[in-house]
Structure 1
Amino acid sequence: MGRLFGTDGVRGEANADLTAELALGLSVAAAHVLAEAGTFAGHRPTAVVGRDPRASGEFLEAAVVAGLASAGVDVLRVGVLPTPAVAYLTGALGADLGVMLSASHNAMPDNGIKFFARGGHKLADELEVRIENLYEQHRSGEAWDRPTGAGVGRVTDYDEGFDKYIAHLMGVLPNRLDGLKVVLDEAHGAASRVSPEAFARAGAEIVTIGAEPDGLNINDGYGSTHMERLQAAVVEHGADLGVAHDGDADRCLAVDGKGNEVDGDQILAVLALAMREAGQLRKNTVVGTVMSNLGFKLAMEGEGIEVVQTGVGDRYVLESMKEHGYALGGEQSGHVIVLDHATTGDGTLTGLMLAARVAATGRSLADLAGVMNRLPQILINVPDVDKSRVATSPELSAAVAAAESELGSTGRVLLRPSGTEPLVRVMVEAADIDQAKAVAGRLADVVKSALG
């Protein structure tokens, strides 16, 4: 069996790759592994379980809850809430683990399972491997230890989760948003209730799109992977800014008052300066990834702020932040982590903090985001190739070396197998957009021929 866990949990087509049996088995395995790791420390464990509004989340939630309860774990079922809300509640309620059912920005047929450890942090790679191994042992015939009688877990609907999470967001907001008009694109996803409520309570005048989930329309033409509707709505309504989330709302991208997209790098730059001004940017450092635009790094260096880069994935950003005590990090895709207030990317919190900066300074988002100049960056996803051979193909290595020689010090090349999808990402950055497109196109062709 190939590794089930990618960079963001277990993900696949619901009821094909990700079945009820797999969800149940992984949940039981997670309970046993965390118990063996001493996480439960001899007491009766509790889990928080939430989901996004995908139709498949209904049967997968039932499977996860059944698996956990059968392993002796009491379950608090919080219903449809964003991933960061489930992470927050796991910590705030003192739960031993959390489970979120979502495939994030993926289309509706997919779904996924994300596990959180005590405190609301994603599981370490070592624990994920142990969960997979135990699950495989069970599939091979090894029986679970099963509690009976009063030892089985109890299941409770925890309806207070929504208000508790909203209160948390309001409690960390640096200032109110009175006077701002904000368009919110909820991707027909998990934040369709949370985000409008939070922005309204903070004082903003809101216009909402993509906030009518029916179980089948998540990410369908709306949200952070489809910014066009938000851009048009911001201009149409004369809004100060727009905020877009993905399906589970751990991401935030924005649109300025002119309809221009503001990506995760620009949001990080704006928040880094705001936090430094407030004395909250510990070690005067912000954490990005190898996908961060070179313009972000140059802008931060120009402001005297150090940039630390990690591998792609908000879990690796978070690991660096926790290890070294940094306060702010994130990805170009819009995963932004403010570690004093969240244990994972939180799209609603990020959007609120960005809007709060606009309100506090009286400056437009376009002006604030202008602190950095985005260098042209072309990203091509090459599907249906053997992504495991990216690092070992001689043909591909030669093509990358030639591209890097052509770009020189004014650009860079990055080839990365996706951690959640069967494809290879080709990223080329250059001072000139036409050169970036040409080089990226040639490399994508080589990826197809060499790995296809």
Structure 2
Amino acid sequence: MSRLFGTDGVRGIANQELTPNIAFRLGQAGAYVLSKEHPHPRIIIGKDTRISGDMLEAALIAGICSVGADVLRVGILPTPGIAFLTRTLDVSAGVVISASHNPVQDNGIKFFASTGFKLPDAIEDEIEAIYQSEEKPWEVPIGGEVGRVIEIRDAERRYMDFLKATVGRLDGLKVVLDSANGAASQVGPKLLEELGVEVIPICNQPDGVNINASCGSTHPGALQKAVLEYKADLGLANDGDADRLIAVDENGQVVDGDFIMLICALAQKAKGKLEKNALVITVMSNLGLKIALKKAGIEVLETQVGDRYVMEELLRTGAKLGGEQSGHIIFLEHNTTGDGLLTAIQLLTVIKEEKKSLRTLAAQMQRLPQVLINTRVEDKEKSMNHPDVLKKVEEVKAVLGDSGRILVRPSGTEPLVRVMVEGPDQDHLKFLAQSVIEVIQKLV
């Protein structure tokens, strides 16, 4: 691993790139940096359901306790649940062990500051510098100064009560919920049931290796089939750590984050509650979303891809709603990170209050054809900036003209380059995207 921290914490193949030794040392460095102002610091740790979580959690806890910090262990809980607990309990920091929507062999370690926000680059750099240093700046505690582990047994209840307080009752809705065999497998169905929803849970039986396996927000096929089979009003899908949400309408059509953001933004605007009359989106959002927002008189604030950049823009401008096409949506009024369950109940609230189907609400936006193709590479930056690739991208831009666009970018969490092309003709877009992919693959 070159740089320890990526765009979303420390990621890698568990036990190969992200080893127990790395987790131990990261626990030491992170606890030291994040606990400087606390005489006896406490750090919350949660995880998703992947099998390597136990191994990394044990190593991380050992590292944290070895520098004199206590660990508040909550077990399996969605990432936004850890963010919520971090900012509402008297702790120095929070840590999540998860690789989100990635496959089971991957895992990650992500820190939250005591405010519940992800760490700024400067703090990550400080942690990494101490991690890499041969000399450790702390005195090794002994005896009663060594940290201990405290089990937090009501974490799920606290998180559910927080979510429930953001909405009213949701009786009368029939919803299929796909929890990706991940962190929301238990809390998700419970939450909706307590709000009065008739819930049909699927993919909520985690066994340590089936997280995100042909299910969840990145694989909605099972959800589409279940919505039609059970004649549900709609379907909802989280990813492995439940910070994302993708929906499926009553006809089995996928309603992605762009549609969900528009539906919620329009509903907030109608109530006079859309802060700064603005929505923060990324360059990956469909052009159709921009057109719909402009028609509604809502300002579009655009950032590069990544929820941290969406958050930065929200904080900079004072807007409170933003997110990504992937379904990572931030309701800053309520939580400090993307929250799939929070997004779910906000969307259900609009459906119930406006007495309209998800299909009808989604029809407020006309999606332009968009093609996204990924290819695996060894060096993302080198592949993207190769003269042959740049030349091909310029050729595609010339072909598209003002009627479309092309975007080539690296994945923030995987060794992939993503090529997205948007325009009026789906088949032509596939041809153009594939032509760029072929150039990249030749380099590999």
State if a TM-score over 0.5 links the two structures.
Answer: yes
Query: Who is 1:130 aligned against?
Result: 126
Output the CA distance in 1 between the equivalents of 2:372 and 2:317.
30
Query: Who is 1:275 aligned against?
Result: 268
CA positional deviation for 1:147: 1.9
Query: Who is 1:315 aligned against?
Result: 308
Query: Who is 1:338 aligned against?
Result: 331
The correspondence for 1:414, drawn from 404, 407, 411, is 407
Residue 389 (structure 1) aligned with residue 387 (structure 2): no
DSSP 3-state at the match of 2:124:
helix
Output the CA distance in 1 between the equivalents of 2:33 and 2:2.
20
DSSP 3-state at the match of 2:375:
strand
Query: In the alignment, is the contact (CA less than 8 A) between 1:390 and 1:416 conserved in 2?
Result: no
Output the CA distance in 2 between the equivalents of 1:145 and 1:380.
51
Query: Who is 1:155 aligned against?
Result: 149
CA positional deviation for 1:144: 5.0
DSSP 3-state at the match of 1:16:
coil
CA positional deviation for 1:66: 1.2
After superposition, give the CA deviation of every residue in 1:183-202 in whole Å (9 maximum; x if it has no partner).
00001000001110111111
DSSP 3-state at the match of 1:172:
coil
CA positional deviation for 1:386: 2.1
CA positional deviation for 1:344: 0.6
Output the CA distance in 1 between the equivalents of 2:268 and 2:151.
37
Query: In the alignment, is the contact (CA less than 8 A) between 2:263 and 2:361 conserved in 1?
Result: yes
Query: Who is 1:257 aligned against?
Result: 250
RMSD: 1.3
Output the CA distance in 2 between the equivalents of 1:143 and 1:351.
44
Query: In the alignment, is the contact (CA less than 8 A) between 2:31 and 2:43 conserved in 1?
Result: no
Query: Who is 1:79 aligned against?
Result: 75
After superposition, give the CA deviation of every residue in 1:166-205 in whole Å (9 maximum; x if it has no partner).
00000011x3211100000001000001110111111110
Structure 2: runs of 5 or more not aligned: none
Residue 285 (structure 1) aligned with residue 278 (structure 2): yes
Query: In the alignment, is the contact (CA less than 8 A) between 1:94 and 1:119 conserved in 2?
Result: no
CA positional deviation for 1:154: 2.0
Residue 28 (structure 1) aligned with residue 31 (structure 2): no
Equivalence map 1:37-186=2 (5 Å):
40-138=36-134, 144-173=138-167, 175-186=168-179
Output the CA distance in 2 between the equivalents of 1:20 and 1:385.
25
DSSP 3-state at the match of 1:12:
strand
For these two proteins, the number of residue pairs brought into alignment is 444
Query: Who is 1:19 aligned against?
Result: 19
CA positional deviation for 1:390: 4.3
With normalisation by structure 2, the TM-score equals 0.98
Query: Who is 2:295 aligned against?
Result: 302
Equivalence map 1:163-242=2 (5 Å):
163-173=157-167, 175-242=168-235
Output the CA distance in 2 between the equivalents of 1:310 and 1:146.
43
Range with bigger deviation, 441-450 or 389-398:
389-398
Q: Which amino acid aligns with 1:429?
A: E
CA positional deviation for 1:349: 0.7
CA positional deviation for 1:275: 1.4
Range with bigger deviation, 40-49 or 322-331:
40-49
Output the CA distance in 1 between the equivalents of 2:286 and 2:126.
35
Query: In the alignment, is the contact (CA less than 8 A) between 1:95 and 1:119 conserved in 2?
Result: no
Output the CA distance in 2 between the equivalents of 1:106 and 1:225.
9
CA positional deviation for 1:274: 1.3
Output the CA distance in 2 between the equivalents of 1:67 and 1:300.
48
Output the CA distance in 2 between the equivalents of 1:449 and 1:167.
53
CA positional deviation for 1:143: 7.0
Output the CA distance in 1 between the equivalents of 2:150 and 2:271.
41
Residue 329 (structure 1) aligned with residue 325 (structure 2): no
With normalisation by structure 1, the TM-score equals 0.96
Query: In the alignment, is the contact (CA less than 8 A) between 1:385 and 1:448 conserved in 2?
Result: no
After superposition, give the CA deviation of every residue in 1:285-315 in whole Å (9 maximum; x if it has no partner).
0001111111111110110001111111111
After superposition, give the CA deviation of every residue in 1:190-224 in whole Å (9 maximum; x if it has no partner).
00011101111111101000000111111111111
Output the CA distance in 1 between the equivalents of 2:136 and 2:58.
23
DSSP 3-state at the match of 1:414:
strand
After superposition, give the CA deviation of every residue in 1:41-70 in whole Å (9 maximum; x if it has no partner).
243211110000111101111111111111
Query: In the alignment, is the contact (CA less than 8 A) between 2:292 and 2:364 conserved in 1?
Result: yes
Query: In the alignment, is the contact (CA less than 8 A) between 1:390 and 1:417 conserved in 2?
Result: no
Structure 1: runs of 5 or more not aligned: none
Percent identical: 51
CA positional deviation for 1:72: 1.6
